[in-house]
Amino acid sequence: MNKNSNNSNNNYINQITETKCSEHEKEFEYLCFTCNSILCSKCFFNHYKSNKDHDVESIDEIKKNLNNLSNNDYSYLNNSNHNYKTDNYIQNRINYIWTSIKRLSYQYTSLGDKVTEISNHFEKLHQFLIVEEHRLKKPISIDQDTVKEDLDKQLNELKSIINIINFNNNNINKKEVELDDDNQVKSIVEDTTDLYSISTINS
């Protein structure tokens, strides 16, 4: 809360529970709106030495102004075009803060609207890109399926031919083995047809 690091006073307005300054044992007499602190006469003297430009007001004066304020009509706060001029610090601050809150909440809303607008724009772009991606891919996928079908047919045919060759070779070997009077018959030519797949052909 304390915006001024030079100020060693720890009596902040929003934390105050006593009416006396614990450091100087004196009644509080002033408020500093700049560093949000409450000051006794000794605090006030020390504070003034290092913070001559701060907005300090006496508590008596503030009480008087608050009493005036509570007797006033608050309806002017709802009128954004009010030209309420006063010397009263608190009333001036209320006017300023109220105008500022309206301006900031308007800014906040319009920034939110911009974010939503950008989100909507990109949402449309995303949808368009998804549709476009699908549109471009679809005929290619169909072509790819057709090619795959042809490829499988050809591979199967090749496998069949190789199997026939192997079968034939095995039979020849078998006959040779029988001619050698060997009881152990084994396949000499291995089945290699599993090697014919798209991945092994392309690698």
The site for Zn ion (CB under 5 A) is made up of: 21, 23-24, 32, 34-35, 40, 42-43, 51, 54
Q: Least distance (Å) from Zn ion to the CB of residue 62?
A: 15
Angle, vertex CA 55, rays to CA 53 and CA 58, nearest 5: 125
Q: Least distance (Å) from Zn ion to the CB of residue 99?
A: 24
By beta-carbon proximity to Zn ion, the closer residue of 40 and 88 is 40
By beta-carbon proximity to Zn ion, the closer residue of 23 and 61 is 23
By beta-carbon proximity to Zn ion, the closer residue of 42 and 174 is 42
Q: Least distance (Å) from Zn ion to the CB of residue 110?
A: 35
Tell me how crowded residue 7 is: count the other CB atoms within 10 A of its CB: 20
How far is residue 55's CA from residue 62's CA, in Å, rounded to a whole number? Answer: 12
Under a CB-based contact definition with an 8 Å cutoff, are residues 67 and 42 in contact? no
Tell me how crowded residue 147 is: count the other CB atoms within 10 A of its CB: 10
**Can you tell me whether residue 79 is helix, strand or coil?**
coil
By beta-carbon proximity to Zn ion, the closer residue of 48 and 84 is 48
By beta-carbon proximity to Zn ion, the closer residue of 18 and 113 is 18
Q: Least distance (Å) from Zn ion to the CB of residue 55?
A: 8
Between the alpha carbon of residue 65 and those of residues 29, 69, 93, 198, the distances in Å are 15, 6, 12, 91
Alpha helices by DSSP H, listed for 19-88, are 41-50, 59-71
The first and second tokens of residue 187, run together, are: 């396949």
Q: Least distance (Å) from Zn ion to the CB of residue 117?
A: 44
